[in-house]
Amino acid sequence: MLNLTKVLEAESKNINVQFKGRVSDDVAIDMFDMCTIISNLLNNAIEACEKYKMTIE
């Protein structure tokens, strides 16, 4: 749900979000940790898009 919140935040700022992924069952990362990593990636992407938009306006 947290990542859905981040996607909605991005879309509310006119940032198109698309991602597709698959994690092997052999990966030894807890799902909570995986969600935290993806959330951080989305935060960084949103921030980068906002900074980029400011430079072209």
Helix axes 31-56, 2-12, angle to 10 degrees: 10
Question: Token pair for residue 3?
Answer: 């990542």
Q: Give me the residue label for tokens 């859905």.
A: 4
By C-alpha distance, which of 42, 45, 46, 38 is closest to 13? 46
Distance between CA atoms of residues 10 and 46, nearest Å: 6
Whole-structure pTM value: 0.75
Task: Give residue 2's pLDDT.
Answer: 56
- The helix (run of H) or strand (run of E) holding residue 41 is helix 31-56
- pLDDT tens-digit map of 2-45: 578 888 999 999 999 887 888 888 889 988 898 888 889 999 99
The residue among 24 and 50 whose pLDDT is bigger is: 50
